[in-house]
Amino acid sequence: MKTKNNQSTGALGEEAVAQYLIERHCEVIERNWRIREGEIDIVALNPTGIFSFVEVKTRSSVAFGHPFEAINRDKAHRMQRLALAWLATHGCLGCDYQIDVAAVLVQPDGRLSIEYREKLL
């Protein structure tokens, strides 16, 4: 039951971040791209032609820490490897890219707050 709830909370956060990016004139190219090594939540192309590979962390409270705290050095390096795999798979090696993270907090009244940080690495 808890896993199902966590999945729906995560999907809610990913949708909110996708809309956040679209409002900033980014093109959301892909969502939940998976390979054996892991998953990229959102791949977007920003208006300057740079690919953004976005890790979204959504929480309903900060009781167990802020969502950004879930992004450690190993996770950041895995994201970089996944980004390079995506670029290679899509014939885009050599293209400019960055790793971004988004923290989404679901407020008690259901509103969402988004903190977005560019260029994690």
- Per residue in 29-64, pLDDT (tens digit) is 999 999 999 999 999 999 999 999 999 999 887 777
The owner of tokens 């971004």 is 100
Q: What is the β-pairing status of strands 97-106 and 112-117? A: antiparallel
Q: What is the pLDDT of residue 3?
A: 47
| Closest-CA residue to 13 (of 74, 54, 72) | 54
User: How far is C-alpha 47 from the chain's CA centre?
Assistant: 18
Distance set, CA 107 to CA 4, 49, 104, 112 (Å): 19, 34, 9, 6
Q: What is the pLDDT of residue 6?
A: 54
In 26-109, beta strands by DSSP E? 27-35, 38-45, 51-59, 97-106
Which two tokens mark 8?
Answer: 């729906």
Architecture of domain 2-117: 3-Layer(aba) Sandwich (3.40)
Q: What is the pLDDT of residue 9?
A: 74
Which stretches in the chain have pLDDT values below 70? 1-7, 120-121
Q: Write down the pTM of the prediction.
A: 0.87
